[in-house]
Structure 1
Amino acid sequence: MAQDDGFDLIVLGSGTAGTGVARRCRAAGWRVALIESREFGGTCALRGCEPKKTFWTLTDAMERARRLAPHGVVGGEAVAMDWAAAQRFKRSFTDPVPQRREEDLEQAGIVALQGQARFTAPDALELGGRRLVARHVVIATGAHPARLPIEGAELMATSDDFLALEALPPRLLLLGGGYISFEIAHLAARGGSQVRILQADRTPLAPFEQSLVERLVRRSRDMGIAVELEAEVSALRRVADGLEVICQDGRTFQAEMVVHGLGRRPALEGLGLEAAGVTVEKGRLVLDAHLRSTNPRIFAAGDAAAQGPALTPVASHDARVVASNLLEGCRRRTDYSVVPSVVFTIPSLASVGMTEKVAKEAGVAYELREGDMADFMSIRRTGEPAAAYKIVLEKGGGRILGAHLLGPDAAEVITLFGFAMKAGMDAAALSELMTAYPSGASNISSMLG
């Protein structure tokens, strides 16, 4: 086995987290290598949030034209999705990423390598017969769909497969009622598929404010998406015209495509972590608050670390924390206290901070500001009938504990709530913020009034 000269840092994974750490350490003068087992670029840029949002933008434009057809958008009723054209548009963003990412790494002085690496010692990895030694390693390999103890689970497609489709299936089943299933459902239904979501219990989108989730479920059903609750899947099998899903209560559903939306897990397989002295429990790395593993040479970041929500801004945050701890000593800790999260359905569902349920379970004294926004100027002009808010405030003090929005511009407005929470602004101070009018942000004073 060939011996490399050695590196100060080897990063596993070329997504947001891995690239962020590699760049910071290289800029500090470290000799850095980055190894990617798939295409350079990572999930967000190639198979996740960015391609998804491209499709979402097209379906949102189509949906707005339909809603506003009675109000002057001539031909809006007939607007339809050309999925093949949408796929070409998406690929104009994703196809250039791998080459550009690899070139950018090399221009930064980072050694970019491709293949499946595995640890052979606490400070060494093997890649294609080559031995690589490093003072430190960062695991930023992302996540993949969880392996499921369901008969026929291998018949399921993934969100990667869906986002690569050249044509939509006539019928689509989505297993699990999380954000992946709801986002795909809204894209596919507006693209012409007959769509059904199967949720094992009565709580889809469990981390989100359930009063708003209920509104989103009603809106989804109104547009033709079947949302089946208490439909726990026990098996899949092939049938003459596609696939059949069998639920534990005996119900069966058929479709040409069944998509796995039952959760994701850190992608740690094949890394040889035992040889590195890195402990894994229940499929997750054991990490401290500095994102350091049980081998002090080895850190993790992003979805592979699985310490915060599986979101790109969390991966960026992890990259800053890990780079700081590598370069300056382990002094910086993670902070996931204020992380805005959005389900990119139409309308979008957005959340930051505590839900009412979490506040109640924590024994926090709270008060609510909640209501419907469908008649607000910024909502009514879009024609969207489903829009609402729920704000959780500290009782008596006015500190914002959580904010939850459903409707157009929810993704942008929730960031303002997150900023206010991070900056320590209370409800009174935020409500006095001067905003552009009429805009989604201008609704904040009405929500808090």
Structure 2
Amino acid sequence: MSQQFDLMVIGGGTGGNGVARMAAAAGWKVASVDCLPFGGTCALRGCDPKKMLIAVTEGVEWTRAMQGKGLEAHVSVQWQDMIAFKRTFTDTMPPRIEKGLEKVGITVLHGSARFTGPDTVKVDGTDYRARHFHIATGARPMTLNIPGEEHLITSTDFLELPDMPRRIAFVGGGFIAMEFAHISKRAGAAEVTVIEMMDRTLGNFDPDLVAMLAEATDELGVDLQTKAKVLEIRRSDETFEVDYETSSGVRAVICDRVVHATGRVPNIDHLNLEAAGVEYSRRGIKVSKYMRTTNPAIFAAGDCADSGPNLTPVSANEGRIAGKNLLAGKDERAVAYPPIPSVVFTLPQVAAVGLSEMAAREKGLEFETHFEKTDGWYSSMRVGARRSGYKVLVEKGTGKILGAHLIGPGAEEQINLLAMAMKAGMTANQIKGLIFAYPSYASDIGSMV
């Protein structure tokens, strides 16, 4: 006889743990299952460990920027020590999360869950039944269907490399590729190549600011190949040859590691959703604005669902909505997305919130574009930043901020403040009227709008 629960959560990351805790607090009998260590991609294999590595490489960048300005030093990255530093966080998270779940009465299961019916799953040979399910299995690297694809390592593998390869190539030009390329070069890689099939890297970010980042990336010593389609990856002993097609013909790069950085897709193939009566597409599990699937007893949230942007805070927000509707027994709360900021943690950082110029024009909006390079501003000069700037779209008539795009030091927090202002409906003049601590990165915002 199968064990029964009120709720089974499939996925032990951000989009699932909050729902499990909400139900347990309400007295429900809850189980949470994951085939990987509890914590999810962001905490263990993505955002958090990546930024710990970036923190170390910021020391390299700081030294270079301050050279000749009173700071004389030589720094280098010890890769193994940096990975050990990262593990001081990632190794402690799974047991901490599991202990926290068990403390509130949640049954923690390890294994791969597969639906066998609308209210049943099998986890590594053991059957379970539940009144409700919540799916938060995240995303996985997409399949590229190119010869030699098996030679690619994933972003997860990159974060566990025992040593920094002398030559490394990244297939793709998005967040992962650009951030890891910057880490690799500052960590001592002699040759770093990014191969992107589109006209430019970071296609979702402002083209003028991405061009500035491309200049900084080139100066760093990273070889950016755009309009380049990878054709094949071949292995020869311990090295790899990546063949890629360009407008001028087929080229090749020889390297010691090749990293999959082309993008991610919903991690749902293994769930047998058909048995549960849950519809899905290439975008993910079909959910309503209440985060309910086509099986009314099953909810989904985060990167596995066809909902909001694939960002950790979004999955947490969607999980909160799903949890409230689960406990209410009806669709009480609809998900509403505020202006959502996004940051590429290269050095310099690139950040965005709201509409791009193209999107604003397509909507027929009338606006002013405030665009300026700010390497001559005090906040950039103070830290030796050579690439910084902003582009802010201010709607004519209302004075409201339609979109904000930043590059340079402080961008990750400036964009959060701009997102708050946009959510509050503040006008450019109202933002100018704010008084921030000075001198600070925040104090520059009034001059941007």
Are 1:347 and 2:345 matched, yes or no? no
CA contact under 8 A between 1:122 and 1:295: conserved in structure 2? yes
Query: How far did residue 283 of structure 1 move?
Result: 5.7
Query: Whole-Å Cα distance in 1 between the matches of residues 302 and 326 of structure 2?
Result: 16
Over the aligned positions, Cα root-mean-square deviation in angstroms equals 1.2
What's the counterpart of residue 63 of structure 2?
65
1:271 is aligned to 271
**Structure 1, gaps ≥5 residues long:** none
SS at match of 1:391: strand
Identical aligned residues as a percent: 43
**Residue aligning to 2:137:** 141
Structure 1 residue 239: Cα displacement: 2.6
The equivalent of 1:86 in structure 2 is 82
**Structure 2 letter corresponding to 1:319:** G
Shift of 1:7: 1.4
Task: Confirm or deny that 1:16 pairs with 2:17.
Answer: no
Structure 2 equivalent of residue 445 of structure 1: 446
Inter-partner Cα distance in structure 1 for 2:115 and 2:198: 40
Q: Where does structure 2 lack aligned partners over 5 or more consecutive residues?
A: none
Matched, 1:319 2:319: yes
**1:126-178 deviation line (CA, Å, top 9, x unaligned):** 12332211111111011110011111111101100111112100011001110
The correspondence of residues 243-254 of structure 1 with structure 2, limited to 5 A, is 243-248=240-245, 249-254=249-254
2:61 is paired with a residue of what secondary structure?
helix
Q: Residues 165-314 of structure 1: matches in 2 within 5 Å?
A: 165-193=161-189, 194-248=191-245, 249-282=249-282, 284-314=284-314
The TM-score, its normalising length taken from structure 1, stands at 0.97
CA distance in 1, matches of 2:41, 2:391: 32
- Contact 2:13–2:40 (8 Å) recurs in 1: yes
Please tell me the residue identity of whatever aligns with 1:209: D
Deviations along 1:269-292, whole A, 9 cap, x unmatched? 221111101112226212221121
Q: Measure the CA separation in 1 of the matches of 2:422 and 2:173.
A: 29
> 1:174-232, CA deviations, whole angstroms, 9 ceiling, x for partnerless residues?
01110110000000010111111011021311111111001001110011011011111
Query: What are the residue-to-residue correspondences of 1:24-173 with 2, within 5 Å?
Result: 24-75=22-73, 78-173=74-169
Could you list the per-position Cα deviations for residues 284-304 of structure 1 after superposition, in whole angstroms to 9, with x for gaps in the alignment?
212221121111111111111
Deviation, 1:337, is 4.2
Rounded to whole Å, the distance in 2 between the matches of 1:149 and 1:165 is 25
Query: What is the distance in 1 between the residues matched to 2:264 and 2:124?
Result: 28
Matched residues, number: 444
Amino acid at match of 1:42: G
CA-to-aligned-CA distance 1:291-339 (integer Å, 9 cap, x gap): 2111111111111114222111111111111111112221322223411
Secondary structure of the structure 2 residue equivalent to 1:208: coil
Provide the C-alpha distance between the structure 2 equivalents of 1:362 and 1:283, rounded to a whole number of angstroms: 24
Aligned-pair distance for 1:342? 0.3
SS at match of 1:250: strand
How far, CA to CA, are the matches of 2:165 and 2:239 in structure 1? 10
Residue in 1 that maps onto 2:421: 420
Contact map agreement 1:118 1:272 (CA 8 A) in 2:
yes
Matched to 2:207, the amino acid is Q
Aligned counterparts of 1:64 and 1:438: Cα–Cα separation in 2:
19
> Counterpart of 2:60 in 1: which secondary structure?
helix
SS at match of 1:70: coil
Task: Name the residue aligned to 2:381.
Answer: 380
- How far residue 391 of structure 1 moved from its aligned partner, in angstroms, is 0.3
AA at the equivalent of 2:24 = R
State how far apart, in whole Å, the 1-side matches of 2:325 and 2:370 are.
40
How far apart are 1:241 and its partner, in Å?
A: 4.9
Q: Secondary structure at the match of 1:251?
A: strand
Is the Cα contact below 8 Å between 1:348 and 1:408 reproduced in 2? yes
Give me the whole-angstrom Cα distance separating, in 1, the residues matched to 2:331 and 2:414.
35
* Counterpart Cα distance in 2 of 1:334 and 1:217: 36
Cα distance, 1:253 vs structure 2: 1.2
